[in-house]
Amino acid sequence: MARITRGLGCAGVASALIGVMPVAGQPAPLASIAFSNEVEASLVRALESLRNDGIKPALRELDAALVKNPNFRLGHFIKGDLLMAKAGTPTAFSGQKSQPELVASLKDEAKARFSRYFDAPPSDSLPTALLQLSPDQQHVLLLDSEKSRMYVYKNVDGVPSYVADFYVSVGKNGIEKERQGDQRTPLGVYQVTSSVAREKLIDFYGPGAFPLNYPNEWDKRNAKTGSGIWIHGTPSSTYSRPPRASDGCVVLTNDDFARIAQFVIPGITPIVIASSVTWQSPEQWLATRATLSASLSDWKSDWESLNMDKYLAHYSPKFDAEGKGISSWAENKRRINASKNFVNVEISNLSVFEYPLAPDALPMAMITFDQNYKSSNNSSKMKKRQYWQREGDQWKIIYEAAAS
């Protein structure tokens, strides 16, 4: 930290800015950084100018951002701090006492925006949340609540490839929604169900909205309630909101909302909302995916073998299938399969997501696929969704049902 502040001649400003950044790490050379938007580029360039050249160049960077985005409250606040420092009284950002909640929220936003560039995941890493994308899922959204960041990945032969990322706001009380009105954002894997155009919305939602399918089947199984969880923009008088500011929706700036809109296909595009994102090297990521793929392949093979003991061993004692517990469901399965001479199961359009849960929960994955089932006396096609939970060193199915 001392290396950053040395020679600035305005320790109050430096400590205020550095106080909202990770202690470890320095930004990459500015020419090599792919900024999410010009606002964040101006913030980082201002900090770099402050560190290397002093207050005046930093102010020029902020002024350029504020001309384009006059409602950017964080930019005005940092500018105020620099002006106070220039006058010899650096108290605006670090010493403001009249509106402590506002100051705290702006510091949180600054920390989130700066940490994107000072504490970014390795460029060659992959998120374990996204293990397999089906061919129709051209893009997927991944939200890291801890970092206040939404990542966009494109599908390259089932493997996620980074496209862009954006600052976001979530619920006032954080994530892991439990009930209607708790002002929390859901934790899980969801789908954009539709698109709501600007002309159908009040100004509060900005240029549009993407409703999500909360509560999904896993939420309903766990008696979670609520509705109206959307991805949307901000009022025309507001550039951005603090990291925790909504009633449960995911909120972007209007410019960023317009950018993600090009990646969203209602009814298809998934969004994974996690408390934090785990990153792995490509080799680790492939190993994680291979473990789940092997479990699914073994489940399919054991079903086709008509060996019901082996087949049912893939299901957890806590298994539930649309209200049927493991005992009654297994008894029914044994009765049905006793009359069959063969079973053939074809799986296609596979997607695999690590399912976000509370930190103390057992790891879980959501697997969705098209199932083409044929037997000696029956045939059917359906989209199936399974939730697998890791119990010890094995993955077990804890819930399955037809996917909507």
CA atoms of 163 and 263, how far apart (whole Å): 10
Average pLDDT over residues 230-240: 97
291-350 residue pLDDT tens: 999 999 999 999 999 999 999 999 999 998 777 789 999 999 999 999 999 999 999 999
Q: Residue 8 pLDDT > 50, yes or no?
A: no
Fold of the domain built from segment(s) 281-402: Nuclear Transport Factor 2; Chain: A, (3.10.450)
At 181, the pLDDT band (50, 70, 90 cuts) reads very high
* Amino acid 29: pLDDT: 55
CA atoms of 13 and 20, how far apart (whole Å): 11
At 3, the pLDDT band (50, 70, 90 cuts) reads very low
Residues with Cβ within 8 Å of 189's Cβ and at least 6 positions away in sequence, in order, are 216, 270, 271, 272, 273, 353, 355, 356, 366
Handedness of CA 290, 291, 292, 296 (dihedral sign): positive
* Amino acid 2: pLDDT: 31
Beta strands in 229-328 (DSSP E): 230-232, 244-246, 250-251, 270-274, 279-280, 315-321, 324-325
Average pLDDT over residues 185-201: 97
Superfamily of domain 126-279: L,D-transpeptidase catalytic domain-like (2.40.440.10)
CA atoms of 253 and 37, how far apart (whole Å): 11
Is residue 93 a contact partner of residue 16, using CB atoms and an 8 Å limit? yes
Q: What is the CA radius of gyration of the chain?
A: 25
19-32 residue pLDDT tens: 544 444 455 555 55
Alpha helices in 19-71 (DSSP H): 38-52, 55-68
CA atoms of 171 and 193, how far apart (whole Å): 20
Task: Report the DSSP beta bridge partners of residue 368.
Answer: 351, 385
Q: Smallest Cα–Cα separation from 169: which of 187, 185, 189? A: 185
In this prediction the pTM is: 0.91
Would you state the structure tokens that stand for residue 15, as one six-digit string? 């400590």
Q: How far is CA 86 from the centre of its chain?
A: 40
- The pLDDT mean for the chain works out to 88
Handedness of CA 109, 111, 116, 117 (dihedral sign): positive
* Amino acid 23: pLDDT: 44
54-95 residue pLDDT tens: 888 889 989 999 999 999 999 988 888 888 777 776 554 555
CA atoms of 256 and 166, how far apart (whole Å): 7
Average pLDDT over residues 261-275: 97
Is residue 367 a contact partner of residue 292, using CB atoms and an 8 Å limit? yes
Q: How many helices (H) and strands (E) does the chain have?
A: 12, 20
Region for residue 107 given its phi and psi (left: phi exceeds 0; alpha: psi -120 to 50; beta: otherwise): alpha
CA atoms of 279 and 191, how far apart (whole Å): 22
DSSP strand pairing (270-274 vs 188-191): antiparallel
SS3 of 392, please? coil
Q: Which helix (H) or strand (E) holds 344?
A: strand 343-355
Of 90 and 382, the one with more pLDDT? 382
Average pLDDT over residues 254-263: 96
Share of the chain above pLDDT 70, in %: 89
Q: DSSP letters of 233-256? A: ---TT-S---SEEESS-EE--HHH
Task: Report the DSSP beta bridge partners of residue 244.
Answer: 170
Q: Smallest Cα–Cα separation from 43: which of 28, 59, 25? A: 59
Q: What are phi and psi of 370, to 5 degrees?
A: -85, 125
CA atoms of 399 and 223, how far apart (whole Å): 14
At 121, the pLDDT band (50, 70, 90 cuts) reads confident
Average pLDDT over residues 241-258: 96
Average pLDDT over residues 190-215: 97
Kindly state the DSSP code that residue 321 receives in the 8-state scheme. E
The domain spans of the chain are: 2-118, 126-279, 281-402
